[in-house]
Chains A and B, each alone.
Chain A
Amino acid sequence: MINFTDEMRDLYQETILDHNRSPRNFRKIEGAESLEGFNPLCGDRMTIYIKMDGELIADIGFEGSGCAISKSSASIMTTIIKGLDKKSALEWFEKFHELITRPLGAKIDSERFGKLLVFAQVSEYPSRVKCAGLAWHTLKSILDGKKESVSTE
């Protein structure tokens, strides 16, 4: 019997598996702004719903099918973003981007990345970076006022 490696444990951390099994804010929000994100590489689709109250993100939800990485990334994103203003949300997008596209071996400031840290390993899986980024890119597009569905390609 082959045992799963520590490396796999690093990628599929308990938090990721937990959010994959029971994603938070996994629901459609009636009357909210929405946008579909699409990963043509794997055919995964995800819709993000956002309800704004002025500059504040009053509510956020998502729906769709995806791998554990994309689903947990969306789920964790909603828990970070809910209640923030637009400017702070975009700052989190930048942080996420920085984390998963950082050069190999770069040191991580764990305080700065907070809940995102569980995705630190994703940068070592180039084919999976898009999975983790799907929700975040879709969020950014809504906040930027885009109406067309978003593609990771």
Chain B
Amino acid sequence: MNDTTSREKLNKLRNDFPVLHQLVRGRPLVYLDNAATTHKPRAVIDTLVQFYSMDNSNIHRGVHYLSEKATFAYEKARGQVKRLLHAKSEQEIVFTRGATEAINLVAKTFGDMRVKEGDEILISAMEHHSNIVPWQMLCEKKGARLKVIPMNDRGELLLDEYEKLLTEKTKIVSIVWISNSLGTRNPISEMIKMAHEKGIPFLVDAAQAVAHEPIDVTKFDCDFLVFSGHKSYGPTGVGVLYGKSKLLEEMPPWQGGGDMIKSVTFEKTLFADIPYKFEAGTPNIAGGIGLGVSLEYLESIGWDWIMQHEKSLLAHGTRLLTEIAGLKLIGTAANKAGVLSFVMDGIHPHDIGTILDRHGIAIRTGHHCTQPVMQRMGVPATARASIALYNMPEELDVLAETLKVVKKVFER
């Protein structure tokens, strides 16, 4: 695809996102907080409106028209997730509230079942709090230990240290594929292989990956994979746990309630088959259906275009930011996704964030729910610009120009 047609495609798809076309504080919105959440295309918004306007009903239990329609749409979304992940069956797709809930589910069921006193759980130095705290809670309960794969100053995991940390005590490895605060793309396939060589199950936190590159859980052979709908152009409040069916079947149920049972008497409850065993209560039906539509949207844009576009945005942004004297990128791994985390000499990230905001630019500032990463990198916080498929190179130009304004404010 040449540059002109690529640009036409970008302009066209930007029209799919109503939220982008507004003035914020008198200037055109420049949205660079996509690692926190992405915007929703019209197709997803229309789906939610349509569902609540015309199709609203509970699922899996009604004999009436609307209930059947809602059930069909919800289960169709499960099929869309299955297709996106290249899972073997819909049974391997559990809907959750988000990636966080999915990790908690695994820790509370699989973890509870497998981890004993003295065992170890292995995570990495760049995990989001959501992939630290559930394991810490499990360790506390079981008397197990949380081990951490260290990283270098560029934000790359040390694989030789990882190798050493994989022992007969390790009961699960849970690793982020793409770091939300550094942008590092971990060599996840290789890491899964290394764990499996020692028979250790592996969970992939794909929260930051799913909107940005194709995923094939069969090729990865990962045991679990989690992601959130809202970071992949879908609604908030819905996410996914993928698990190999053999493991999901072995795991005890998590929450008890309606929809996760075959039969209930006061003496004994028979649990439903997977994935329903893990889906107690009325789920986020509209959210699930919306998630399915967002994944369809991603596919319609095409992975080749998305990856090439975001790669060139990252290169452009990296070049622009590197040219600003006194600005230091935090996270300079050789293999990176569209995250530009940075600090500026003598200017706190919060002040950067406020000044950018007053120019209509949305970035994230703070610790990004990765306080250990901040400690490792020796900074209290960073400013972070993160890219999505609808961003334009000009928006990064505006970012860079406005960062020069930030410097001016502080240098006067």
CB contacts (< 8 Å) of A17 on chain B: these are 409-410, 412
- What are the residues of chain A within 8 A of B367 when measuring CB–CB? 42-43
Contact A42 B405 (CB under 8 A): no
B193 at the interface (CB under 8 A from A): no
Q: How far, in angstroms, from A58 to B66 measured CA to CA in the complex?
A: 74
Contact B371 A43 (CB under 8 A): yes
Complex Cα–Cα for A41 and B369 (A): 9
Tell whether A106 is near chain B: CB-to-CB under 8 Å: no
> What does the 1/0 interface line of A18-37 toward B look like (CB < 8 Å)?
00110000000000000000
Min C-beta distance of A60 to chain B, whole Å = 22
B381 and A2 contact, CB distance less than 8 A: no
Q: Which of A61-69, A89-97, A144-152 contacts B (4 or more CB under 8 A)?
A: A61-69
Scan residues 3-62 of chain A and give those whose CB is less than 8 A from a CB of chain B: 3-5, 7-9, 11-12, 14, 17, 20-21, 41-45
| Among candidates A1, A9, A45, A128, residue contacting B350 with C-beta atoms closer than 8 Å | A128
| Docked-complex contact A125 and B354, CB < 8 angstroms | yes
Binary flags per residue of B375-412, CB closer than 8 Å to A gives 1, else 0: 00000110000000000000000100110110011101
- Which B residues are CB-close (under 8 A) to A42? 349-350, 365-367, 380-381
The answer to whether A43 and B366 touch (CB under 8 A), given A66-B348, A67-B348, A68-B348, is yes
Rounded to whole Å, the gap between the CB of A14 and the closest CB of chain B is 8
| CB-based contact A44/B381 at 8 Å | yes
Q: Are B350 and A4 within 8 A (Cβ)?
A: no
A8 to B409, Cβ gap below 8 A? yes
Q: Which of B339-362 contact A (CB under 8 A)?
A: 346-351, 354-355, 358-359
CB distance from B133 to the nearest CB of A (A): 14
Interfacial residues of chain A within 57-108, with CB under 8 A of chain B in the complex: 65-69, 71
At the interface, yes or no: B207 with Cβ under 8 Å from chain A? Answer: no
Within 8 Å by CB of A4, from B347, B371, B374, B409, lies B409
B368, closest chain A residue (CB): A43
Residues on B with C-beta less than 8 A from A4 are 355, 405, 408-409
Contact residue among A2, A9, A11, A44 (Cβ-Cβ distance under 8 Å from B380):
A44
Question: A12 — which chain B residues lie within 8 A by C-beta?
Answer: 351, 355, 409-410
Question: Which residues of A lie under 8 Å from residue B381 when comparing CB positions?
Answer: 42-44
Would you call A69 and B351 a contact (CB within 8 A)? yes
Q: Please provide the chain B residues from 126 to 144 with a CB less than 8 Å away from any CB of chain A in the complex.
A: none
Interface assignment of A142: CB less than 8 Å from any CB of chain B? no
Bound state CA distance, A7 and B410, in angstroms? 14
Contact status of A67 and B359, CB under 8 A, knowing A1-B401, A12-B409: no
Q: Smallest Cβ distance from B352 to chain A, in angstroms?
A: 9
Chain B contacts for A1, CB-based, 8 A: 401, 404
Q: Nearest Cβ distance between residue B334 and chain A, in whole angstroms?
A: 28
Contact B380–A65 (Cβ < 8 Å): yes
Q: Does A131 count as interface, using CB distance less than 8 angstroms?
A: yes
- Residues of chain A within 8 A (CB-CB) of B374 are 43
Assembled-state Cα–Cα distance A1/B401 (Å)? 7
Contacts of B366 in A (CB 8 A): 41-43
With the chains together, A69 CA to B346 CA distance in Å?
13
Q: Complex formed: what's the CA distance from A45 to B159 in Å?
A: 33
Q: Is the CB of B351 within 8 A of A67?
A: yes
A68 CA to B406 CA, complexed, in Å = 12
B350 touches A69 (CB 8 A): yes
Report Cα–Cα, A120/B30, bound state, in Å.
28
User: A131 is contacted by which of B350, B409, B410 (Cβ under 8 Å)?
Assistant: B350
Q: List 9 other contacts, CB 8 Å, given A42-B350, A43-B381, A67-B348.
A: A4-B405, A7-B358, A17-B409, A17-B410, A42-B367, A43-B380, A65-B348, A66-B380, A125-B354
Q: Which residues of A contact B (CB under 8 A)?
A: 1-5, 7-9, 11-12, 14, 17, 20-21, 41-45, 65-69, 71, 125, 127-128, 131
Can you sample 29 A-B contacts with CB below 8 Å? A1-B404, A2-B401, A4-B405, A4-B408, A4-B409, A5-B359, A7-B358, A8-B355, A14-B412, A17-B409, A17-B410, A17-B412, A20-B410, A21-B346, A42-B349, A42-B366, A43-B366, A43-B380, A43-B381, A44-B381, A45-B380, A65-B380, A66-B380, A67-B349, A68-B348, A68-B410, A69-B351, A125-B354, A128-B350
